[in-house]
Amino acid sequence: MKYGYARVSTKGQAIKGNSLEEQVSKLKLEDCQKIYQEAFTGTHADRPQFQELLSLLKEGDTLVVTKLDRFARSAMDGIQTVRNLIDQGIRVHILNMGLVENTPTGKLILTVMSGFAEFERDMIVERTQEGKAIAKQRDDFREGRPNKFSKKQIQHALELLTGHSYKQVEEITGISKSTLIRAKKKAEIEIVKVN
């Protein structure tokens, strides 16, 4: 059986000329007997329609998608999904790439896709490292996630702790108990260092 899968992100996808209607129309031209579709961002692993479709596919079936990124969060994820499917005897037809199946040509397409995925991953790592190197040149560089609360807000919350419980201060300031405990310990250590 030939199945189709169409997906758009929840926002802005139609602008890219890749709306659900356009994808479904292309899948119908490919004679897909059943087409699954959903609006879910590709970064979410939990795409119910896609998971249902994967559970139905069996040896000899064909999965048709307009582009690899329609069912994958990343190129590597897409290639792994395609590899798993062809290992089960399922053909994958990616309309803008070709038919990937357990044949020499299908394996060549998969190898080329893997090369591009590895290239994409390496480029992301390189750009991240370059960005980090540039950021480290700044005097105010601090690795990790930025603080949610300013020093002033933390100080105010610590002052409130003298007359209130952690729970009350959390309700007043929105600063969690665990953050307050860490800040209090840090303040105590700084006092010890000064003395």
The single residue of 9, 19, 74, 114 carrying the catalytic annotation is 9
As given in the structure block, the two tokens for residue 88 are 């089960």
DSSP-assigned letters across all residues of the chain: -EEEEEEE-SSSTGGGT--HHHHHHHHHHTT-SEEEEEE--TT-S--HHHHHHHHH--TT-EEEESSGGGT-SSHHHHHHHHHHHHHTT-EEEETTTEEE-SSHHHHHHHHHHHHHHHHHHHHHHHHHHHHHHHHHTSTT---SSPPSS-HHHHHHHHHHTTTS-HHHHHHHH---HHHHHHHHHHHHHHHHHH-
**What is the rounded distance in angstroms from the CA atom of residue 17 to the CA atom of residue 102?**
32
165 is catalytic: no
- Count CA within 13 A, CB hemisphere, residue 4: 21
Give catalytic residue positions. Answer: 9
